[in-house]
Structure 1
């Protein structure tokens, strides 16, 4: 049986997530993606490279279903041929950019389910299903500087990322006390030129006091491309000290 790393990745249909998926396939990782849409380009790249790649079309706003499916799949897949095992929680959404009291309750709930509840449930499923696996196991949560700095009209996104940081700290403490415990890290990837940045720059200035900062970063060429950001994140994942600091920023390298 071929020996290769196995990576599970959410939010892989566009932006940095798609770039990470493509780079992981190119590096020979068996890959499972969980996204609302699948990527024909990723499927073609994996087939051309002879790399196993499953793309699950799932809505992480229903995180219980996604977590149950992941746990069952891992139990069925088993550890045979896996040299290392990684879960990357990358998916996230920003609801309407406005003060908290002006955002639809359903949009708020969706942002928190995708951005916080889904990573927690998927991480729980991952750890439960693989507790007896003996290869290195890692969980990488893609956080944000906004999880560490408050911003008006960004309450849901800031709260989700702050929660992600703190639950990662808790899991790091838990896993440190287990035989072959997983290494975990919540990593801010820097400011990336994605659809999310376009959403921020296109907000109503009357509702979003910080819009000028985001417009300025774009105008000054300060945004990282999705491909470059993906490479930096995956390089961090491969560091020998990955998880030594459970909350980190690629810009601190």
Structure 2
């Protein structure tokens, strides 16, 4: 069986990617706090295998427990392909340094960076032991390569996931491993995260008017289009290890 595990698959890019992978016949495991009922309906219609695990990805202990169980399911037969999309993310707190909410900041770092590291580390270990081929996609952002006023936490975690991706890829290449890891920057999409950004204050986020204009001028891409590009890279035989793919390269 070929499995695809997607975090944050209840909505947005994660849900769109999960649906496309179901339509392509993969066994999909979604991990998020709430379940997307439409994915369950798609799986039933396509006679595909779909499993949902409820998990608070801001809790490292919960992540370890849930993904230990998932790993036991997917890593059973040698030679199988396993796809992992670390998609779950949050943009809050949108605020200047010195005014950050410490509890939300800790949650943000856990969701955007610590959990993907924990999951990737666990899956690489299991895949190597069973001789399964693992492909990891870490959803990144253009904010990971430039500073944005009010996004000190978001920019930092996205920069961190980029470096984790590149360093892991270097290690895999040095080990002559067949595993692949890449990052994917999806650009601006019409998702709940954009709504959160537009609801912030001008003092906390200087670029708020620009992001409001993106919505008003119809410049936000739909999640389905972006998910199509992500899935195409994920299933490609020519993935460049450690590369940070940009959505603009595909559209």
TM range (shorter): over 0.9
Shift, 1:204, TM fit? 0.9
Q: Which residue of 2 aligns with 1:156?
A: 153
Structure 2 CA distance, aligned partners of 1:17 and 1:56?
Answer: 14
Shift, 1:81, TM fit? 8.6
1:99-178 equivalence runs, <5 A: 99-178=96-175
The 1:81–1:126 alpha-carbon spacing in structure 2 relative to 1, beyond 3 Å, is closer
Structure 1 CA distance, aligned partners of 2:40 and 2:21?
Answer: 13
Aligned partners of 1:201 and 1:211 also within 8 Å: yes
Match of 2:234 among 223, 233, 237: 237
TM-score scaled by length of structure 1: 0.92
- What is the CA deviation profile of residues 100-147 of structure 1, one whole-angstrom value per residue up to 9, with x for unaligned ones? 221210000000000000000010011111113434320000000011
Q: Which residue of 2 aligns with 1:195?
A: 192
Structure 2 CA distance, aligned partners of 1:139 and 1:82?
Answer: 16
In the alignment, does 2:24 pair up with 1:31? no
Structure 1 CA distance, aligned partners of 2:155 and 2:187?
Answer: 15
Structure 1 CA distance, aligned partners of 2:148 and 2:122?
Answer: 32
1:46-61 equivalence runs, <5 A: 46-61=43-58
Shift, 1:71, TM fit? 3.1
Q: Which residue of 2 aligns with 1:91?
A: 88
- What is the CA deviation profile of residues 142-201 of structure 1, one whole-angstrom value per residue up to 9, with x for unaligned ones? 000011111011111111100000010110011113354311101101211101111111
Q: Which is worse superposed, 29-38 or 214-223?
A: 214-223
Shift, 1:84, TM fit? 1.7
Shift, 1:50, TM fit? 1.9
Structure 2 CA distance, aligned partners of 1:239 and 1:208?
Answer: 38
Aligned partners of 1:68 and 1:125 also within 8 Å: no
RMSD: 1.8
Aligned partners of 2:188 and 2:220 also within 8 Å: yes
Q: Which residue of 1 aligns with 2:75?
A: 78
Structure 1 CA distance, aligned partners of 2:17 and 2:70?
Answer: 22
The 1:76–1:90 alpha-carbon spacing in structure 2 relative to 1, beyond 3 Å, is closer
Structure 2 CA distance, aligned partners of 1:186 and 1:54?
Answer: 25
Structure 1 CA distance, aligned partners of 2:33 and 2:122?
Answer: 19
The 1:73–1:16 alpha-carbon spacing in structure 2 relative to 1, beyond 3 Å, is closer
TM-score scaled by length of structure 2: 0.93
